[in-house]
Amino acid sequence: MPRQLQIQPHLSIEELEQRYRASSDGVERSHYQIIWLLAQGKRSSEVAQITGYSRSWIYELVWGYNRLGTDARL
């Protein structure tokens, strides 16, 4: 079973949801959705199924977000 990824609290769950819903760029929107879903405690396999992104890409996205916060290329 895939492990649960830890998300650094650069933004609250509410702030992540707001950015996800407000984004007009499709890729940025998907990336915020991924971080938001993981921050809620969903597993990477669930998030991959919901979003259509591979688990390896999700891990890469989380790696950048955890280190750089919102400065990461979301």
| Residue 44, pLDDT score | 96
In whole angstroms, how far apart are CA 39 and each of 5, 48, 64? 8, 14, 15
Whole-angstrom distance, CA of residue 49 vs CA of residue 59: 14
**What's the rounded Cα separation, in Å, for the pair 62 and 58?**
6
Residue 1's pLDDT is 64
Say if CB 68 and CB 42 are below 8 A apart: no
**Residues 8-62: pLDDT tens digits?**
999 999 999 999 999 999 999 999 999 999 999 999 999 999 999 999 999 999 9
Residue with tokens 């890409």, as numbered in its chain: 57
- Please state whether the predicted TM-score (pTM) of the whole model is above 0.85: yes
Contact 6, 66 (CB under 8 A): yes
Q: Is residue 27 within a helix (H) or strand (E), and if so which, with residue range? A: helix 26-39
